[in-house]
Amino acid sequence: MADAQWSPGRRAADADEFLPVLDIIEPARQRRLTVLFRLLLLIPHFIVLFFLEIAAFFTVVFGWFAALVLGRLPEPVFRFLAATLAYRTRVAASSMLLVDSYPPFTLTQPSAYPVRIDVRPTQLNRLAVFFRLILVIPAAIVQSLATYGWWALAIVWWIITLVLGRMPRPLFEATAATLRYETRVSAYVTMLSPAYPKGFFGEDALSVPEQQGRSATRPLVMSTAGKALLVLFLVVGLIGSITTSVTSSSSDDTDYGMHA
């Protein structure tokens, strides 16, 4: 998408229930060599993320108590959690072959990097904050199944992208939708957004006015093939989860029988 550009997001007046935005500039081509060694190249980022996630966990716990008292996240807490989410999203976009550019080692938003998220600080409903982990369960199930399904078939997507030198548009749509939903679930859990995760199957082209800048994922208009791939991710994720549960149960029964 040679004419792609960043969207400015919604205005301040629209900040209530603002859904986190994922902007991705779709690459016309990807270098096959970087696709071939993508996960190996990202190992340093995975190490950084390991420590960031530990820090983010304790920050979320503190932020939860603060949000119950203040009705919002303290500004330093919001900034750190938003920066961590953006970092994680950039690494995930690279690992899922959505972009070819290597993610920078920074918690600030790189101006030229083709992946960007937009979250806005706003007031939080204290009751929703208190029951956050319960409320998010339905969305978290959808997100975990879709992500599981994508990674279960990752070798297929990797081969396709390696052979073609690009990700086919329907696969790009479905992969971006999976990552965007994961980002929205994470933003909701960490209280970066009061908006419940939605838009799993994309939205229509009218959701972003023509006069606003657009990207390949804003609005994320899904083709029939893209939606079919999302359903495939969910089905594969469900089958994989059931298989794992049955296998684990059988293994436990076998161990119990051996020790009886």
Per-residue model confidence (pLDDT) at position 9:
43
Considering the entire predicted model, what is its pTM?
0.88
**Cβ–Cβ < 8 Å for 160, 135:** no
**Between 10 and 83, the higher pLDDT residue:** 83
pLDDT averaged over the chain? 89
Per-residue model confidence (pLDDT) at position 198:
94
- Burial (CB count within 10 angstroms: exposed 0-12, middle 13-18, buried 19+), residue 121: middle
Strand segments, DSSP code E, in 5-142 are: 21-24, 115-118
Q: pLDDT tens, 123-153?
A: 999 999 999 999 999 999 999 999 999 999 9
Residue 259, pLDDT above cutoff 60: no
Among 22-26, 60-64, 227-231, whose mean pLDDT is lowest? 22-26
Q: pLDDT tens, 178-214?
A: 999 999 999 999 999 999 999 999 987 766 655 555 6
Per-residue model confidence (pLDDT) at position 214:
64
Q: Within 10 Å of residue 201's Cβ, how many Cβ atoms?
A: 15
Task: Give CA angle at 103 (97, 104), nearest 5°.
Answer: 175
Task: Give CA angle at 45 (39, 49), nearest 5°.
Answer: 120
Q: pLDDT tens, 49-70?
A: 999 999 999 999 999 999 999 9
Task: Give CA angle at 146 (6, 181), nearest 5°.
Answer: 30
Residue 48, pLDDT above cutoff 90: yes
The confidence band for 86, taking pLDDT boundaries of 50, 70 and 90, is very high
Residue 3, pLDDT above cutoff 60: no
Per-residue model confidence (pLDDT) at position 81:
98
Peptide bond into 219 cis (omega under 30): yes
Distance in angstroms (rounded) separating the CA atoms of residues 79 and 95: 24
Residue 242, pLDDT above cutoff 70: yes
Distance in angstroms (rounded) separating the CA atoms of residues 128 and 156: 40
- Burial (CB count within 10 angstroms: exposed 0-12, middle 13-18, buried 19+), residue 66: middle
Per-residue model confidence (pLDDT) at position 55:
98
**Cβ–Cβ < 8 Å for 191, 129:** yes
Residue 7, pLDDT above cutoff 90: no
Residue 11, pLDDT above cutoff 50: no
Largest separation between any pair of C-alpha atoms in the chain: 71
Per-residue model confidence (pLDDT) at position 6:
40
Residue 2, pLDDT above cutoff 70: no
What are the structure tokens assigned to 100, written together?
A: 């070819």
Q: pLDDT tens, 90-121?
A: 999 999 999 999 999 999 989 889 999 999 99
Per-residue model confidence (pLDDT) at position 85:
98
Residue 78, pLDDT above cutoff 50: yes
Tell me which range, 19-33, 45-59, 242-256, is most confidently predicted by mean pLDDT. Answer: 45-59
| φ, ψ (nearest 5 deg) of residue 233 | -55, -45
Dihedral class, residue 257 (left if φ above 0, else alpha if ψ from -120 to 50, else beta):
alpha
